[in-house]
């Protein structure tokens, strides 16, 4: 088992009688104690952010970018320490596309936010007049993150906000505060006081943050239900919104697909982070001609992929992060079984590994209308649905109220492109699923939210456009 002494962990935790115990996701042993903040502390942090913002903005893009690049280097230097904290708290293993990968991505996205150019846009220049669009800071950004990719998603929120001259008050999920506190500790080695603060508290404080009169922008990643409440709350302060909400992503495997060629990418599109990913593949529609082959390929990988404590080398699947999510996955799989679904792999907890482990599960012969198909499972269970006509598969894939991502799997690129254009989702991948690039905009449609992150679009989303005409 990999271990490391963490000076970062020591610096961010508080004495037991002054904080809340945070459990190791795999063992449920206490990692440390997180601070518990109250409404008065929230007001103090927002006031400090408001006070610090003009000087931070006055540094200009070049200096702010220099600072962010220095932070990215600091993240890389602290990578193993951060990865161990993340692995223990969230549950994802160090190995595979998991904890070390997430910390590496945090550095990459920080650098990207620093380095992407954003010049004034000339929209009219006809000899008689000229009009330019500039992008000014908004002010104070409230960033509210989830527990599944707590470090990487925090960076998606704070790095572009800081680059554009805003200050940030960040609220992590109550399930994963230590990972985010550790990230902020590294960031704040290079930032002026008040530019980035973390409020650690329950959802009530999160609600107060979104309604705060001194908040100018809200960035939220989480459930659709919470997103709707944030929209209502923002009416009081007219804060701008970027909402990345739930996803029930569909994949369509077309006839003629080379199953051997796509099987590994298909598996990881579903089971990355043990299925606890907003843009993971959640419903898989497979043409009858390759249906059995796809089911068998996924089941074989599900049965043999190493699962266990994230600090043990070689494990690449971990536990569910919390009891609530474990119960949701268990319920949905049992509902699918009761509805006639054929469990070909998994379908049960793995108590010998720990209390929140659930075996990677493949359920065949299910239909639309089954809870496992219609609800976002956010865990290691995939329903595989049979279809005969591509038009029917597209209709069924688009039937969800959510539209975060989707994917098409085919040996024929032109055919895949034609189907991709018909799918209602913010991103449609071909022969892959959930792969993100800091240069490429990302966001959802329908009930999966609105606004975009990453790239130039992500910088503009945390800025106020201002037209200068002369």
Decide: 6 and 81 in contact? Cβ < 8 Å: yes
Q: Is the dihedral of CA 87, 245, 205, 151 positive or negative?
A: positive
Rounded distance between C-alpha atoms, residue 288 and residue 290, angstroms: 6
**In 3-state terms, the chain is what percent helix, strand and coil (to 5)?**
40, 20, 35
Decide: 109 and 153 in contact? Cβ < 8 Å: no
Rounded distance between C-alpha atoms, residue 216 and residue 53, angstroms: 12
Question: What are the backbone dihedrals phi and psi of residue 261, each rounded to the nearest 5 degrees, phi first?
Answer: -75, -30
Please name the residue ranges forming H helices in 38-94: 39-58, 60-77, 79-90
Closest-CA residue to 404 (of 380, 382, 433, 383):
433
Is 375 considered catalytic here? no
Rounded distance between C-alpha atoms, residue 359 and residue 349, angstroms: 6
What element of type H or E holds 156? Answer: helix 150-163
Rounded distance between C-alpha atoms, residue 395 and residue 388, angstroms: 12
Rounded distance between C-alpha atoms, residue 170 and residue 299, angstroms: 40
- For the chain, the C-alpha Rg in angstroms (whole number) is 23
Is 278 considered catalytic here? yes
User: Which one of the listed residues 89, 174, 278, 376 is annotated catalytic?
Assistant: 278
Closest-CA residue to 459 (of 47, 117, 102):
117
Decide: 161 and 170 in contact? Cβ < 8 Å: no
Write out the DSSP string of 251-316. Answer: EEEPTT--HHHHHHHHHHHHHGGGG--TTSEEEEEEETTTHHHHHHHHHHHHHHS-BS-TTSTT--
User: Which one of the listed residues 174, 185, 244, 376 is annotated catalytic?
Assistant: 244
Distance of CA 407 to the CA centre of its chain: 18
Closest-CA residue to 119 (of 134, 129, 136, 138):
134
Rounded distance between C-alpha atoms, residue 460 and residue 453, angstroms: 9
Bridge partner residues of 220 (DSSP) = 144, 243
Q: Give Cα separations from 327 to 28, 128, 357, 379 (angstroms).
A: 16, 66, 11, 10
Show which residues are catalytic.
244, 278
């Amino acid at each position: 088992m990999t271990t490391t002494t963490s000076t970062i962990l020591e610096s961010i935790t508080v004495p037991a009688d002054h904080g809340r115990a945070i459990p190791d996701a795999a063992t449920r042993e206490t990692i440390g104690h997180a601070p518990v903040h109250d409404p008065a502390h929230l007001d103090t942090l927002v006031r400090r952010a408001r006070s610090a913002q003009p000087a931070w903005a006055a540094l200009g893009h070049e200096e702010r970018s220099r600072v962010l690049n220095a932070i990215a280097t600091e993240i890389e230097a602290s990578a193993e320490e951060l990865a161990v904290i993340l692995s223990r708290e969230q549950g994802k293993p160090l190995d595979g596309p998991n904890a070390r990968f997430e910390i590496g991505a945090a550095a990459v996205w920080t650098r990207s936010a620093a380095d992407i150019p954003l010049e004034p846009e000339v929209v009219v220049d006809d000899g008689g007049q000229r009009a330019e669009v500039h992008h000014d800071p908004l002010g104070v950004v409230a960033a509210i993150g989830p527990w599944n990719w707590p470090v990487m998603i925090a960076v998606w929120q704070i790095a572009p906000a800081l680059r554009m001259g805003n200050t940030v008050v960040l609220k992590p999920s109550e399930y994963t505060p230590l990972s985010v506190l550790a990230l902020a500790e590294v960031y704040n080695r290079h930032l002026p006081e008040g530019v980035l603060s973390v409020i650690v508290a329950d959802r009530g404080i999160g609600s107060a943050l979104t309604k705060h009169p001194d908040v100018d922008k809200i960035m939220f990643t989480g459930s659709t239900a919470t997103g709707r409440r944030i929209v209502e709350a923002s009416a009081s302060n007219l804060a701008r919104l970027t909402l990345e909400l739930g996803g029930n992503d569909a994949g369509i495997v077309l006839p003629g697909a080379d199953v051997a060629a796509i099987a590994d990418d298909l598996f990881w599109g579903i089971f990355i982070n043990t299925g606890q990913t907003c843009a993971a593949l959640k419903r898989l529609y497979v043409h009858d001609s390759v249906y059995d082959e796809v089911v068998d390929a996924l089941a074989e990988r599900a049965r043999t992929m190493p699962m266990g404590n994230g600090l043990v080398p070689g494990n690449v699947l971990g536990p569910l992060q919390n009891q609530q999510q474990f119960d949701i996955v268990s319920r949905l799989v049992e509902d699918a079984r009761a509805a006639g679904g054929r469990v070909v792999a998994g379908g049960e907890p793995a108590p010998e590994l720990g209390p929140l482990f659930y075996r990677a599960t493949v359920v065949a012969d299910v239909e639309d209308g089954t809870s496992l198909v219609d609800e976002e499972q956010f865990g290691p269970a995939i329903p595989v649905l049979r279809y005969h006509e591509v038009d029917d598969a597209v209709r069924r894939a688009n039937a969800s109220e959510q539209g975060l991502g989707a994917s098409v799997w085919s040996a024929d690129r032109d055919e895949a492109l034609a189907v991709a254009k018909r799918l209602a989702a913010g991103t449609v991948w071909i022969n892959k699923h959930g792969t993100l690039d800091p240069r490429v905009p990302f966001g959802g449609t329908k009930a999966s939210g609105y606004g975009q992150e990453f790239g130039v679009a992500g910088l503009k989303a945390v800025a106020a456009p201002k037209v200068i005409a002369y």
